[in-house]
Structure 1
């Protein structure tokens, strides 16, 4: 295996959105490796649940509404496929003990080109997810305070734009944090936040008078690609799996960690999807919180929880991108100022993109199709075929055919879903 260069990353334990939060630098690697092999089974399960749980829970009902009731089958298919590709990542790591991160797997399989592709895919995904956070914040703040328009020198600034900029200003100080450990603690409420949102929305339906009377559609062929893309977005935590695996005290229990985490997350996603669809049917917004009345306490709790979580995790999403840029363009002068400028420019750019593409559902669908399906389905399969398919002890048999078929499915989802998402975005500009 070729030596790692400076921009190589390990993936820190993400405590997020959905969305899984990933990233890390050599400094983080040192901290992480010093504790390698000390994490218990329960702690690893908690970390994995946090990696898989996130803002995907807000859009899962919209995904079901897009595809219809039968699309739930595809949710389980994607969950099963991504669980299996998680196991493939473990097998790749068992082949070579030098593999400690997701980009390492890409390099072991396809050399420096593989590492570059994997790292780039991860960073682009993180950037778009951070942008999605700002859109989500603007949508929900606009729902709570709908009349906040401003006129500046004759130019009207809409309510949503005002809140996107305001939230960016609030988040900005957290973007100065260099400690991934500190940011991970800030983001440690991922699973709890998901449970609060789910409980609040169920309460709104059962107690606050919304009810569960909507029938919905059996199948919606036109919305099926978007539904699949959003389902894939919910299972995009694969870049963190190598870190979870190497940090375990008993690594042979890693498949049990994956199984338990995927079962619990899939159950949560399914309950939220069904509950939301029964409550609002085809009227579902890209975020279910936008359908809630702001007069009920349960609705306010769900919306406020959805608001707090992205604020805590935005900086965590951009940190690995900052570290990547810093590694490529190291400065011999005032490194702190250099880092500050990079973070500031990145944040301003996400604000500009959020204002230009204010479509949370379409953007998350694009991320799910173009990036999540790639990192969670296609890349693990291709790397496994390359690394393990050429081993003398491995036969090219039924398993390899299954892996190849899953990789093909991932490619189809990426191509079709990306096309549909781009068309939707362009149409709504």
Structure 2
């Protein structure tokens, strides 16, 4: 037998590949043969990979799903959530198929294989913009919300101006103590423990949303209509809703299932890595995320009905300010967001290094410099740009749909041996068209809302 060794070692995280790659070693007899997709797995267990992928999927997007249900109805929301999650699974299936066929284990390299150097640059820039925007938004949330959460645990009457009420100082502190050390880790598998902790925080959030439904009656001051001069509560669950705000639902769901830049590096570090095993990781992660998304959205909606805020926790603040359990939940969500930032950082760093050094081996010094550069940029954006979420909302509406729908379909059509009109190629084409429509819809929606505000 002719021995062939193909080893890709990736030291990266959420959606990026590794910072360091060892070239494949092939025997002379097989130099002329096409590279088959053989990925030697790493040390990450199945459960660790599931937690990492779930942490890549779940973030602050869970707070907006109850609002999406209020504007689409329970059945309408359920059908859309099933559609988007199924398409996310299918697009990941296309990425894994390409990885299996070509041996390529980096999103940027798939772009290079499909469209040459411009394709690699485009994918790297898309990942960079998307992930810097997400990290900056999360840091902005921490800067804005963490002082208020800390103050909520204190006496209503206390002296202001203390250090723990300074959002910028707290942001720098958590960045130096938590984000930076985790971002410097060489492998995504090391983040499995923090990802499991973030999952527990999200699970706690969902449980509290369910419990609060039975302790908060229909709030008449929030849900009422005028009938014969009297306020009458309007706490009815609607199955289907179509309004001008319904267009926010699909972009919100698409953003909530974006994890595609994390797929390939998690695949490379998975124990006994095979396409089928990684597909199982994907199916479990998206299924668990789907359950948490649906339950939290359903019970959040059934608590406040049409008056649910675009960010669910704000609804509890209006009706029950300084509720201890809600304050604890807010802190848990902030901690989950904080632990997600290092995972988002990994693909952004990989994108920077791919743009600067290409496929060359990455030194530890380059690894550290890129990390410090990205973290510093994100913190500066969160501190000095007041409307960072709106700015990156416009850009992210297109980059997220490209990474989730458009690029996997395009790469499959260009690289795969399946051609039109085969079912696989038709499915990839439909995925591209769906992604273009969602991206355009997201961009128009966010632009209109910004103009109106």
Give the gaps of 5 or more residues in structure 2: 1-8, 23-37, 224-233, 358-364
Encode CA deviations 1:337-365: one digit per residue, 9 max, x unaligned: 89646643442123223x22466xx965x
Question: How is 1:5-404 mapped onto 2 (pairs within 5 angstroms)?
Answer: 12-14=12-14, 22-23=15-16, 25-27=18-20, 29=21, 36-69=41-74, 70-97=76-103, 99-138=104-143, 140-141=145-146, 144=149, 145=151, 164-173=167-176, 174-177=178-181, 178-181=184-187, 185-207=193-215, 214-215=235-236, 217=238, 218-246=240-268, 247-251=270-274, 252-292=276-316, 293-318=320-345, 320-321=347-348, 324-325=351-352, 340=372, 343-353=375-385, 355-357=386-388, 366=394, 369-388=397-416, 391=417, 396-404=421-429
Query: In terms of mean alpha carbon deviation, does 124-133 or 258-267 score higher?
Result: 258-267
Report if aligned partners of 1:41, 1:250 keep a CA contact under 8 Å in 2: no
Measure how far apart 1:231 and its partner are.
0.4
What is the alpha-carbon distance in structure 2 between the residues aligned to residue 309 and residue 425 of structure 1? 28
Deviation track 1:80-128 (CA, whole Å, cap 9, x = no partner) reads 111111111111111112x012212212211211111111111111111
Q: CA deviation at 1:268?
A: 1.5
CA contact (8 A) 2:51 2:195 kept: no
Report SS of the residue matched to 1:249. Answer: coil
Distance in 1 between residues matched to 2:421 and 2:39, nearest whole Å: 38
Cα distance change, pair 367–291 in 1 and its aligned pair in 2 (3 A): farther
Tell me the SS of whatever aligns to 2:243: coil
Distance in 2 separating the partners of 1:96 and 1:329: 24
Alpha-carbon distance, 1:317 to partner: 3.2
* 1:288 CA drift (Å): 1.2
Task: Kindly state the Cα deviation for residue 205 of structure 1 after the two structures are TM-superposed.
Answer: 1.8
For the residues of structure 2 that align with 1:382 and 1:11, how far apart are their CA atoms?
A: 27
Gaps of 5+ in 1: 1-8, 15-21, 153-161
The answer to whether the Cα contact below 8 Å between 2:139 and 2:378 also exists between their aligned partners in 1 is no
Tell me, in whole angstroms, the C-alpha distance in 2 between the residues paired with 1:64 and 1:329.
43
Confirm or deny: 8 A CA contact 1:276 1:288 kept in the other structure. yes
How far, CA to CA, are the matches of 1:230 and 1:357 in structure 2?
A: 18
How big is each residue's C-alpha offset from its partner over 1:260-297, in whole Å with a ceiling of 9 and x where there is no partner? 32222212211111111111123222321222234333
Indicate if the aligned counterparts of 2:64 and 2:311 stay in contact, CA closer than 8 A: yes
User: In structure 1, what is the Cα distance between the partners aligned to 2:98 and 2:402?
Assistant: 17
- 1:220–1:131 CA distance, 2 compared to 1 (3 A): farther
TM-score (norm 1): 0.78
TM-score between both structures, scaled by the size of structure 2: 0.74
